[in-house]
Amino acid sequence: MVNFTPLFRPETVAVIGVSTRSDLHPANVIYNKLHLRYPLRVFAVNPKGGRLRNETVYRRLSEIPEPVDLAVIAARADHVPGILEACIRNRVGGATVISGGFAEIGRTDLQERITEMAREAHLPFVGPNCLGIYVPGKLDTFFLPGERLVRPEAGNVALVSQSGGVLVDQMVKFAGQGVGLSLGVSIGNKAMVRELDLLEYLAADESTDVIAFYVEGFGPGEGRRFAQQASRCSKPVVVLKAGKTSEGSRAVSSHTASLAGDHRVFSAVMAQHGIAEANNEYELVSFCEALSCYPRTIEGKVAVVSVSGGHGVLASDACAAHGLRVPELGRDVQEDIQKDLSDSVKGIASLKNPVDLTGSALDDDFAAAVAALSRSEDIDCIILLLLPYSPGITSDLGARLSHIYLQTGKPLVAYVPHVEKFRMLIEGFELNRVPVSSSIEGAVLMVEAMKRCRPC
Amino acid sequence: MLKEAMKQLWETYREAGWIPEPEAKAFFRSGGLAVPRFQTASDREGALAAGEAIGYPVAAKVVSLDVVHKTEAGGVKVGIADATELAETYDRFALLPGFREVLVEEMLSGTEVIIGAKVDVQFGCVVLVGIGGTGVEVYEDTTIRMAPLEAEEAGAMLDRLRGNRLLRGFRGAPPVDREALQHTLATFSRMALEVEGYIESIDLNPVMCTPDGCTIADARIMLSKRGEGRR
């Protein structure tokens, strides 16, 4: 197996192709941020030499005074084979080839040449034609100025994207939902390092608990190996596939060929192997958030708890639409809830499921309901619809209910309107590993993610 | 062995792009799947002898490399009651483009199911099963999985069909032989996977399911252009 450590956990980085004249050059942008903000030693390289930020620009790799783990290559495509050769000669550990101008514009010859060289030398490289690698607080090879990026915090979700643009945009959504990344990598033309390699690496990576992919397409037979490998992986795998509508135009001569269109096959194979397929970028974030908290799968027997009958019904409808059950609670469970409810709620709450604690509910009532539901075998996940306008609910409720989860292990998912004044309530959940969505639909998607990870 | 047989069929029919029904059925029979009793004949006398041997009523289908979709071309006749009707049918089929022979076979009844395979570029051989057989496009009730399948997985596929109830015995009808159907699906998946280098897609459509078993009423194998060294 290829050693990916120098690629994703480098201590020394050479940025090859910096300009001494233009600070807007991609290599300069990368050099600047690594130099100023990251805990690693970075060296600028350009055959012309000179000074950059009052540091030496090395004429060649061999002049750099210590071994280089990662080479970031941002020079013109024609120069890349020569640079890669130098990397191999100088025993560089890995490379990311930012440069475009390869297979994507028809220069498959150039791409094949560098791929062959790298394979022979066991030098893993990401790209070409990519943004490269982002590891929160550790590494960032994106040629986008730091102040323009939205950077998710460090977390346990790895996101592998064929498209750099989608990766950057997805990072905005991850940050917005408070989902942390262990690694973001844009693999571009994926000449050498491909989804399969990263699936294998991330399956063993200790900082990653959820592995997410944005895929435009697999190579011949590659999808089969990916599905098989993902089904053996103990971590949840999430996939967002682009190009769902490219089928249908070809003339097909058999019923099976016309019924088994490309995307139907894709979805069927994902489901067969317990890979959670997200339908769109919002689902991708919801799925990742839920699975980063609860990597285990559930059957999908949901209890809905709210202070509003309307929200309960909306959530039940959404559950049904996503193949989740909201079973009526047995007498025993209802009694188990009832016995701990406060006097003002006891007579008016509806406990059948959805559980409506009414606008009179206090924190204690939520705690009673969640504790009882967590004890019930008829339920394998609880959706909390928390409307903090209700006067009996305090900001402490998030942390309090999370602690019940931490005790019992029964998954909770919360819907709380994402408004700044409810921040403490939300963090009370999120910091204790209970995912929070800003919509009812989003909360339901999170539960669906846990169910989708069951092979079927 | 199956692969060798398929290789020869591929070499014979690569030009046409597909394998005609008699050879396709013989192929699946050699893999242990049930097909109707049938005979082929390239003249009227032979057709009548076949009708006699099979026993009326029979079904007749045209065999022509120019006719992929037999029903649409008027090349299928079911419920033929006697020699007179079979002779008429033969004469009509003989006028169809590219006529090679007629296939005469026993009549089948049962619940129609489609079983198919497709070689997908990304995932290789995948198998499809659906309710409705020849009406499958109307019902749009199919499930797909990557081959090969174990009988148990084949069962899980059937469970995911909306029309699963039809197979389990609906409104007093006896349930179909589920074990036979799962076996057919699993065996078919292994056969298709073994010869995936030669094929583009396969339709077993319909497969007739009864309480006593599952029989492939029609089979069509579409060939890949490049053969074993595909892609």
Structural domains of chain B, with CATH: 2-34+109-229 (3.30.470.20), 38-106 (3.30.1490.20)
Measured in angstroms, the CA of A217 and the nearest CA of chain B are apart by: 8
pLDDT over 90 (residue B136): no
Q: Is A259 on the interface with B (CB under 8 A)?
A: yes
User: pLDDT by residue (tens digit) across A96-142?
Assistant: 999 999 999 999 999 999 999 999 999 999 999 999 999 999 999 99
User: pLDDT by residue (tens digit) across A77-87?
Assistant: 999 999 999 99
Contact B118 A257 (CB under 8 A): yes
Contact A223 B123 (CB under 8 A): yes
What pLDDT, on the 0 to 100 scale, is given for residue B229? 54
Q: Is B77 on the interface with A (CB under 8 A)?
A: no
- Report, in angstroms and rounded to the nearest whole number, the Rg of chain B calculated over CA atoms: 18
Contact B122 A253 (CB under 8 A): no
Q: Is A174 on the interface with B (CB under 8 A)?
A: no
Measured in angstroms, the CA of B184 and the nearest CA of chain A are apart by: 17
With CA atoms as reference, report the closest residue to B154 among B131, B187, B195, B194: B187
pLDDT over 50 (residue A29): yes
For residue A220, whether the previous peptide bond is cis, meaning omega lies within 30 degrees of 0, is: no
The arithmetic mean of pLDDT across residues A262-288, rounded, is 93
pLDDT over 50 (residue B230): no
pLDDT over 70 (residue B176): yes
Q: What is the Cα–Cα distance from A167 to A178, expressed in whole angstroms?
A: 16
Q: What is the Cα–Cα distance from A368 to A305, expressed in whole angstroms?
A: 11
With CA atoms as reference, report the closest residue to A453 among A230, A156, A218: A230
Partner-chain residue, chosen from A218, A256, A272, that has the shortest CB–CB distance to B122: A218
Strands A436-437 and B18-19, sheet pairing: unpaired
What pLDDT, on the 0 to 100 scale, is given for residue A147? 85
User: pLDDT by residue (tens digit) across B86-106?
Assistant: 999 999 999 999 999 999 999
- Report, in angstroms and rounded to the nearest whole number, the Rg of chain A calculated over CA atoms: 25
* Sheet strands (E) in chain B: 18-19, 38-41, 58-64, 76-80, 99-106, 111-120, 124-131, 142-146, 199-210, 213-216, 219-223
Contact A269 B146 (CB under 8 A): yes
Contact B142 A259 (CB under 8 A): yes
Q: Which residues of A touch B116 (CB under 8 A)?
A: 254-256, 259-260
Measured in angstroms, the CA of A247 and the nearest CA of chain B are apart by: 12
In eight-state DSSP terms, residue B38 is E
In eight-state DSSP terms, residue B196 is T
pLDDT over 60 (residue B231): no
Closest B-chain CA to A226:
B123
Percent of chain A with pLDDT over 70: 97
Partner-chain residue, chosen from B121, B143, B222, that has the shortest CB–CB distance to A254: B222
Note the helical H segments in A105-150: 108-121
Q: Is A257 on the interface with B (CB under 8 A)?
A: yes
Closest B-chain CA to A225:
B123
User: According to CATH, where is 3.40.50.261 located in chain A?
Assistant: 5-292, 297-452
Q: Which residues of A touch B128 (CB under 8 A)?
A: 256, 259-260
Contact B123 A217 (CB under 8 A): no
**Among B21, B123, B185, B216, the residue to mutate for chain A (most A Cβ within 10 A):** B123
Q: Is A213 on the interface with B (CB under 8 A)?
A: no
Q: Is A251 on the interface with B (CB under 8 A)?
A: no
pLDDT over 60 (residue B49): yes
**Among B122, B131, B205, the residue to mutate for chain A (most A Cβ within 10 A):** B122
Q: Is B183 on the interface with A (CB under 8 A)?
A: no
Q: Which residues of B touch A272 (CB under 8 A)?
A: 145-146
Closest A-chain CA to B115:
A256
Q: Which residues of B touch A196 (CB under 8 A)?
A: none
Which residues does A123 contact at the CB level (< 8 Å), separation at least 6?
A: A84, A87, A88, A92, A93, A94, A95, A117
Contact B137 A255 (CB under 8 A): yes
Partner-chain residue, chosen from B117, B122, B145, that has the shortest CB–CB distance to A272: B145
Contact A262 B120 (CB under 8 A): yes
Task: State the number of CA atoms in the 13 A half-sphere of B89 facing the CB.
Answer: 27
Contact B220 A254 (CB under 8 A): yes
pLDDT bin (cut points 50, 70, 90) of residue A289 is very high
Contact B120 A260 (CB under 8 A): yes
Contact B126 A265 (CB under 8 A): yes
What pLDDT, on the 0 to 100 scale, is given for residue A246? 54
Cα angle B61, B63, B64; round to 5 = 135
Please tell me the CATH superfamily of domain A297-452, with its number: Succinyl-CoA synthetase domains (3.40.50.261)
Q: Which residues of B touch A265 (CB under 8 A)?
A: 118, 120, 122-123, 126, 144
Note the helical H segments in A322-439: 331-338, 343-346, 363-375, 397-408, 423-430
- This model of the complex carries an ipTM of 0.92
Contact B128 A256 (CB under 8 A): yes
User: pLDDT by residue (tens digit) across A213-262?
Assistant: 999 999 999 999 999 999 999 999 999 998 876 554 445 568 888 888 88
Q: Which residues of A touch B123 (CB under 8 A)?
A: 218, 221, 223-224, 227, 265-266, 269
Contact B145 A264 (CB under 8 A): no
pLDDT bin (cut points 50, 70, 90) of residue A390 is confident
Contact status, residue A18 vs residue A71, Cβ threshold 8 Å: no
Contact A224 B122 (CB under 8 A): yes
In this structure, of A57-66, A345-354, B125-134, B188-197, the range with the lowest mean pLDDT score is B125-134
Residue with tokens 């008016």: A348
Average pLDDT of the residues of chain B: 93
CATH architecture of A5-292: 3-Layer(aba) Sandwich (3.40)
Number of H helices, E strands in chain A: 17, 19
Q: Which residues of A touch B202 (CB under 8 A)?
A: 254, 256
